[in-house]
Amino acid sequence: MEVVILPGSRQIGKLAADAIEALLRHKPGAVLGLATGSSPLPVYDELALRHERDGLDFSSAHAFALDEYVGLPPGHPQSYREVITREFTNRVDIRPENVHTPDGSAEDIPAECRAYEERMQAVGGVDLQLLGVGTDGHIGFNEPGSSLASRTRIKTLIEQTRRDNARFFAGLAEVPHHVVTQGLGTILEARHVVLVATGAQKAPAVRNFVEWPVAAVCPASVLQFHPHATILVDEAAASSLKLADFYRHTYEHKPGWQGL
């Protein structure tokens, strides 16, 4: 796990976009794993800018969202299908048929979950998975207690997550209780994971998953098993890390050829 502490979200957006740009230039048909929520927005802004300004090409790329609410009607502005389209995929030249989100309104949810995993496998699996982290340590919507080997499935949101996400809805009562999410085992299969966390409210979760033992009570800690996990944090989110100075030193002295 590599922890990179940066001054703010603009720098985080640029560094994550550098990794995605390098991947696309080397493999134009790369498979991107997309997160929703606030954390990845600076990354999407930077990628949209590079597409517009430098012609960064997404026309052969594929994208898979991490998760989707269950019970929102198709087209609901807060469904993750709509959010990912609005915040990212509509702003670049990725083909709409190459953008996948789990169908949270499917009649047969277990069948949809299996089909989602198969769609990911059919294009070769995820090359780079972008992640945020919840204040309770969730990634995707794998809440505390999730199996570290889990696959795409339905999950119940913990009340803290519903409260955290109420800011996107008219009120708490409108936040669904259920979601479909890639599992922790699914996420671990991505070849590179890049997790973005900003703000003091994320500091305890960042400390727990980076420096505490791997445990289902803090689902993001499973990333300690990942051979290529990059954690991009601002100073506030890094403020509880015991080894912060070591992470800074390591990044400052990193050989240039290593990339992210």
The answer to whether 45 is a known catalytic residue is no
Q: Which one of the listed residues 138, 189, 192, 234 is annotated catalytic?
A: 138
What are the structure tokens assigned to 218, written together? 């803090």
The count of chain residues that interact with ligand F6R, using the rule CB under 6 A, is 14
Tell me if 194 contacts ligand F6R by CB under 6 A.
no
Is 108 annotated in the active site?
no
Q: Which is nearer to ligand F6R, 57 or 174 (CB)?
A: 174
Contacting ligand F6R within 134-173 (CB under 6 A): 134, 138-141
Give yes or no for a contact between 99 and 89, defined as CB atoms under 8 angstroms apart.
yes
| DSSP for 164-200, written as a single string | HHGGGSSSGGGS-SEEEE--HHHHHTSSEEEEEE-SG
Q: Does 78 bind ligand F6R (CB under 6 A)?
A: no
Given 42, 102, 104, 132, the residue binding ligand F6R (CB under 6 A): 132
**Residue 44 or 252 having the CB closest to ligand F6R:** 44
The vertex-57 CA angle with 17 and 181, nearest 5°, equals 60
Which of residues 38, 60, 156, 160 is near ligand F6R by CB under 6 A?
38
Known catalytic residue at 138? yes
At 166, list the tokens.
Answer: 């109420």
Strand pairing category for 2-6 and 62-65: unpaired
- C-beta of 139: minimal distance to ligand F6R in Å? 5
Active site residue 127: no
Q: Which of 45, 67, 87, 189 is catalytic?
A: 67
181 CB contacts (<8 Å, ≥6 apart)? 66, 67, 68, 102, 140, 141, 142, 152, 153, 155
Residue nearest to ligand F6R (CB): 132
Whose Cβ is closer to ligand F6R: residue 3's or residue 184's?
A: 184
- Is the distance from CB of 69 to CB of 54 less than 8 angstroms? no
37 binds ligand F6R (CB under 6 A): yes
Binding of ligand F6R by 39 (CB under 6 A):
yes
* Closer by beta carbon to ligand F6R, 8 or else 29: 8
Catalytic residue, from 46, 117, 143, 189: name it: 143
Of the two residues 29 and 77, which places its CB atom closer to ligand F6R in the complex?
A: 77
Residues constituting the chain = 260
CA distance 134 to 205: 7
Q: What is the DSSP letter of 130?
A: E
Q: Find the binder of ligand F6R among 35, 187, 241, 244 (CB under 6 A).
A: 35
* Token pair recorded at residue 44: 């999407």
Quickly count helices (H) and strands (E) in the chain: 8, 10
What is the Cα–Cα distance from 76 to 198, expressed in whole angstroms?
A: 27
Residues that bind ligand F6R (CB under 6 A): 35-39, 66-67, 132-134, 138-141
Active-site residue list: 67, 136, 138, 143
